[in-house]
Amino acid sequence: MTQLEGFVLTPQGFVRGRLEHEQGRIAGIRGTAVSESEVRLGAHELPLLLPGFIDTHVHGGGGRDTMEGADAISAISRMHARHGTTSLLATTMTAPLDDIRRALRALAPVCEQRETGAARVLGVHLEGPYINPGKLGAQPDFARTASLAEIQALHALAPLRLITLAPELPGYLDLVSQLSAAGFKVQIGHSLGTYEDGVAALEHGASGFTHLFNAMTGLHHREPGLVGAALAHARFSEIIPDLLHVHPGAMKVALRAIPCLFCVTDSTAAAGMPDGEYRLGRHQVTKCMGGVRLADGTLAGSTLTMDQALRNLVGLGLEIEDASRRVSTHAADYLGLDERGRLQVGAWADVVVLNRKLELQRVLVEGDEIDLENA
């Protein structure tokens, strides 16, 4: 039995005491319930223990890209673990089908077995190629028409946990229904759809929105667009809180409107790396001034890490408990993972330990300590 001491954030609130874990699971949480205000004003030597971060949108990190295949995902999952991400979805790019197949084959063994020192790769987020070619954003121009059979064939190569598509494309509403019935989770994104298209997609089984505000039709008071559909009707949606992709004011609108808005990094190979040139699928991108862009200036993913996402949310005025849910618990609930994203007995011992500046001190993935310097 191993234990950690501090202010432990449980589903019922903070406890001043200790968290015990063994064989990768939380075995006990013991202590006295305290309010968040007491945590903020309490003993400064005690750290905060929060659920490990869950990122459903990871293209890369540490200089590597998920589309590279080979051992890229190992480097990516290790880099993100050093920033508190204990579980993630490896996210593909729009590309020729052979490139996607090759990437999925490389991802499959890592989805089956977590590597020591790395985040758990829960599966794949297929972001493209089933998107609107008129709203590629930073996706390469290889959009193609989807079919249930093709998606099932890709799923046979590696577990697809999340699929982004544009619901306004011909036949896609029926496809959303078919995918939902088959157990796939569908997100709306990279789309020129209207408000009505977004509402119809939700009614047909779509369950969320891919990087809200970005690569979708915006909100106008006479044409609410997909952003309006999300704000009016969504329970879950991704958002990139790097303060570049979305203005803080727009983030506050979304936080008020969408109950389970959750954060993703949309991170690229440039995350955790110095300024310079990197790959994003078939694109060359440039990291500079805190962002990643194509040659024409289009934002192309981010350099965000989830520990910084947490700090950004608290900087916007969120309580620590609320911010923690938006970098962990809501994503776990969205994916149906009741043993992750929360510190409670029986759950996986995915834990981040932070100081009062919300800087990482320790990270545990399924009870295993991550070397924050050399993972």
Beta-carbon contacts of residue 43 (< 8 Å; ≥ 6 apart): none
Active site residue 266: yes
In 156-209, alpha helices (H):
172-181, 195-203
Active-site entry in 197, 266, 307, 333: 266
Q: How many CA atoms lie within 13 A of 193 on its CB side?
A: 31
Dump strand ranges (E) for the chain. Answer: 2-10, 13-22, 25-34, 48-51, 53-58, 60-61, 64-65, 85-91, 120-127, 160-165, 186-188, 208-209, 236-239, 260-263, 276-280, 283-288, 291-293, 351-354, 360-365, 368-369
Burial of 311 (0-12, 13-18, 19+ CB in 10 A): middle
Give the three-state DSSP class for 330: helix
Nearest to 207 by CA among 224, 228, 184, 241: 184
Between CA 139 and CA 93 the distance in angstroms is 6
Tokens for 169, please give them.
């494309």
How far are the Cα atoms of 86, 136, 164, 235, 247 from residue 128, in angstroms, in the given order? 25, 9, 6, 23, 25
Burial 255-265 (b: 16+ CB within 10 A, else e): bebbebbbbbb
Beta-carbon contacts of residue 214 (< 8 Å; ≥ 6 apart): 137, 240, 245, 246, 299
Catalytic residue annotation: 266
